């Protein structure tokens, strides 16, 4: 029997090793797998390279992973938001590396990584400082910049419902990077609000086919990052 369901976030993240490349879904708090991130903090893996659009808020979730000095390098498009304090502080002190990538290029690098495409040319960032030192090439009289695919050892993703084959559906704009991150990691670990029986997800409406998913853990009542930040909570509690 195929059964990708695991019992707890701790079990789900147990194999993440020091130095791993980890993709973390989410755009701000929408789609951020906060329980998996907290389990990763408890687990202790360090020297991680994290690929995520932002760097977290307050002192919980991704911001807490960074604050607990588990992240050596961030690859992201927008490393500061209204409530991000942790990353800017470490960055200013030279204690964390940053690779800044335009958001659409970040998405396409991840998509390519999952699709077996090692690199691609894109018009984004041509003529800007973010293209400095990168290979360019002309197609049809227009200049494009070479970008390399991103792959990860693990991805941590949040969704709305999953079955034991790992088929997933998402919730509204919390989908964002989840589907492509599932494809681009050797091991895609998903927290879901609900696990449903096989056949309950309409095959026409499945967003992430189970083939891209390694394990699924049910977190029926996930924390809301913005509420934790408003209450000035810190992880570990």
Which residues are near another protein by CB under 8 A?
A: 27-31, 53, 77-82, 87-88, 91-92, 98, 100-108, 110-111, 122-130, 170-180, 207, 224-226
By C-alpha distance, which of 98, 103, 105, 11 is closest to 50? 98
CB of 131 to another protein, least distance (A): 9
8 A C-beta contact, residue 78 and residue 52: no
Distance CA 203, CA 154 (A): 26
Nearer to another protein, 34 or 64 (CB): 34
CB of 17 to another protein, least distance (A): 27
CB of 187 to another protein, least distance (A): 19
Distance CA 78, CA 55 (A): 8
Q: Which residues contact 212 (CB under 8 A, 6 or more apart)?
A: 114, 166, 179, 182, 183, 188
Phi and psi for 157 in degrees, rounded to 5? -135, 150
CB of 21 to another protein, least distance (A): 18
Nearer to another protein, 80 or 186 (CB): 80
Nearer to another protein, 35 or 225 (CB): 225
Nearer to another protein, 227 or 234 (CB): 227
CB of 78 to another protein, least distance (A): 4
Nearer to another protein, 70 or 175 (CB): 175
For 69, the token pair is: 């000095």
CB of 11 to another protein, least distance (A): 25
Alpha helices in the chain (DSSP H): 9-12, 34-43, 61-67, 86-92, 103-115, 178-184, 225-230
Burial 115-124 (b: 16+ CB within 10 A, else e): eeeeebbbeb
Nearer to another protein, 38 or 158 (CB): 158
Q: Which residues contact 150 (CB under 8 A, 6 or more apart)?
A: 23, 51, 75, 106, 109, 110, 112, 113, 184
CB of 106 to another protein, least distance (A): 8
Beta bridge partners of 51: 23, 75
Nearer to another protein, 16 or 212 (CB): 212
């Amino acid at each position: 029997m195929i059964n990708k369901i695991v019992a707890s976030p701790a079990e789900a993240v147990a194999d993440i090793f020091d130095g791993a490349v980890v993709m973390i879904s989410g755009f701000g708090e929408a789609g951020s797998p906060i329980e998996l991130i907290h389990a990763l903090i408890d687990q202790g893996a360090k020297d991680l390279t994290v690929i995520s659009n932002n760097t977290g808020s307050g002192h919980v979730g991704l911001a807490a992973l960074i604050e607990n000095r588990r992240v050596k390098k961030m690859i992201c498009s927008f490393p500061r938001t209204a409530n991000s304090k942790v990353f800017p502080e470490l960055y200013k002190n030279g204690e964390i590396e940053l690779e800044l990538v335009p958001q659409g290029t970040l998405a396409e690098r991840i998509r390519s990584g999952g699709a077996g495409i090692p690199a691609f040319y894109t018009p984004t960032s041509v003529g800007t400082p973010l293209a400095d030192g990168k290979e360019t090439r002309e197609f049809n009289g227009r200049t494009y910049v070479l970008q390399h695919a991103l792959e990860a050892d693990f991805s941590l993703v949040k969704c709305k419902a999953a079955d034991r084959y790992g088929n997933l559906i998402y919730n509204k704009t919390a989908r964002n990077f989840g589907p492509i991150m599932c494809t681009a990691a050797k091991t895609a670990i998903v927290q879901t609000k609900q696990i449903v029986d096989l056949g309950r997800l309409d095959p026409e409406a499945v967003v992430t086919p189970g083939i891209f998913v390694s394990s699924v853990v049910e977190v029926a009542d996930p924390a809301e990052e913005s509420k934790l930040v408003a209450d000035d909570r810190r992880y570990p509690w």
